[in-house]
């Protein structure tokens, strides 16, 4: 939201939440007027007509929401943001443990009942190696 405020040149009060559930609750209740959310957190409410999707912040439209434009398409050329989820362990965790976690997580992500559900929630699953993830998030 901070990035969007700067790009669009408007003021809005930042309200920090401890997770998506209280933020969605306040959005549904009218306590806040707008929020940035990952699709899986709001899809059911959009389908029920309780929330309206205005735009997506990625580089391309979501396949399940082809009528929802990207912020880039709406003229905000610097508004490409993505959310991501990664499994992290404390520094110094032995490599065999990291490797085991990685193997098990990749297995889970490929399960017949998991992979389609993640796709339905518009998650793009990238089961990279621990080294690739570390390189991606390292400053």
- Split at pLDDT 50, 70, 90, the class of 139 is confident
Mean pLDDT of 84-110: 92
The H or E element containing residue 100 is helix 95-109
Q: Please indicate, yes or no, whether the overall pTM of this predicted structure exceeds 0.85.
A: no
Residue spans of the domains in the chain: they are: 1-83, 95-137
Domain 1-83 in CATH 2.40.50.140? The answer is no
Cβ atoms 48, 40 nearer than 8 A: no
- Give the mean pLDDT of the chain: 88
Nearest to 118 by CA among 68, 43, 8: 43
CA dihedral 81, 109, 40, 64 (to 10 degrees): 80
Q: DSSP class of residue 41? A: H
- Can you give the C-alpha Rg of the chain in angstroms? 18
- Split at pLDDT 50, 70, 90, the class of 5 is confident
């Amino acid at each position: 939201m901070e990035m969007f405020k700067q790009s669009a040149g408007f003021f809005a009060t930042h309200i920090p939440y401890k997770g998506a559930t209280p933020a969605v609750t306040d959005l549904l209740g009218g306590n806040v007027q707008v929020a940035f959310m990952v699709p899986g957190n709001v899809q059911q409410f959009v389908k029920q007509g309780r929330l309206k999707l205005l735009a997506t912040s990625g580089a391309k439209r979501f396949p399940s929401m082809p009528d929802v434009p990207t912020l880039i398409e709406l003229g905000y050329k610097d508004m490409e943001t993505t959310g991501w989820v990664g499994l992290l362990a404390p520094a110094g965790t032995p490599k065999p443990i990291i490797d085991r976690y990685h193997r098990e997580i990749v297995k889970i992500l490929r399960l017949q009942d998991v992979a389609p559900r993640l796709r339905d929630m518009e998650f793009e699953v990238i089961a990279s190696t621990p080294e690739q993830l570390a390189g991606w998030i390292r400053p």
